[in-house]
Structure 1
Amino acid sequence: MSDGVRVQQVDQVVPGPCDPVYGCPDPTEIVCIETVKVYDFCFQTDRRENVCFPIPAAFQGILLSDLVTCEIVQVTCQEVSREEDPNNPGFADVTLLVTVTMQFTIRRNDSVVAQFEDSFGFLKTVLLCAPEGTVIQCESAGSRCGPCVIINGQVCCEVDLCLLIQSKALVKLLVPAYGFCVPAPCVTLPKPPLVCPPENLFPPQCVPPTT
């Protein structure tokens, strides 16, 4: 009985976790695929304190008591330099220019008196497995800003960044495979049964008036 179950599983290979007892079946072929290979992948948190931005001259009469909130609208990274590590072949010190764009909203008595965007940048260096031919990708995940205060015509905030950094390249790999994927029937939401005939097929009958 156990062998029969195992044979059935091999004949019907589908995406999903392997059997906890038998594991994955043996591959049926080795194929060459073109894909993006990740050579290194890391995360780094960064806190920037007292990041200040001038309030645009178009907004006059801003008070120190006004409430300031901020939102990070975009984080971009650009590779500036890459210095190979002579002691570790393939590794390099990668320097990135991280640019953070923020939106500020200033309120007074629940009314918006000013709203503007500004950005700041800083350099970040990380050690990555990044041989020649790899591309560096950096993105933000879960970043936040605030609290913010108004000081001398500026908005000053605290910014916390969570950066995901990876080196990758388009490569061709030999991969064990089970053949081509076979589609399964699509799952659809159940529909209520059709009422036939409908209850309101005809107009309601008049009731004779009472005298």
Structure 2
Amino acid sequence: MLLLDTLVSLGTVARLRNPSLWDAITTALLRHSATATQARKRHHAYYTAYGRTFDTPSGPLSVAPVMMARTHDRPPHGPFELLPGEQRKSRIDPALLDDWSARFVAQLAAPSAERLGAGYEQILLDVATGSQARTQVAEDGDGWTVIQRGPLKLWNAVEDGVAIWQSHGSPHLSEFGMTIAPDAQRVWLSSDNGPSWTLPV
């Protein structure tokens, strides 16, 4: 039996636009693997486990977890040179930026910076201003050193942001929220009147 014959035997056949076709296929597959009640329970369990929960007059309400911005790789850029700059001890362990939440805070604190490197050897670049910061293990082996250059002190901003985040117990990404107004976008921690970072518009 041909596929078309099988489909016709199931009922009305219609020509669907491609996005609608994919919706129809995934809906049909999902209906075979879970009932609507099961899907609702799984959905609720996911939101409860990974999202924020608010107390409402109707009971607890769990909302979608925070999604990471720009999960794709950064666009390619030309070669760059790490230039000499002001050197001092770092106030934070650069390897903290290997943690998703700390990296999110660092990006909020220095939104124009691109992060390269990992562990103790972090590199932050701001192509627009030529600002850069890089970290390394201190020569005496005691702590870390940061070298910064340019009009923006990128690592200072990261240290300040991470210090605020740590002073609030280093919370998970689900503790962040966002307020969007016609003239500004602001990401806040714990509540709308908590610590916040204004994003470039």
- Shorter-chain TM-score category? under 0.3
The answer to which structure, 1 or 2, has the higher relative contact order (CA under 8 A, 6+ apart) is 1
Structure 2 length as normaliser, TM-score?
0.22
Q: Which has the larger radius of gyration?
A: 1
Higher strand share: 1
> Greater helix share, 1 or 2?
2
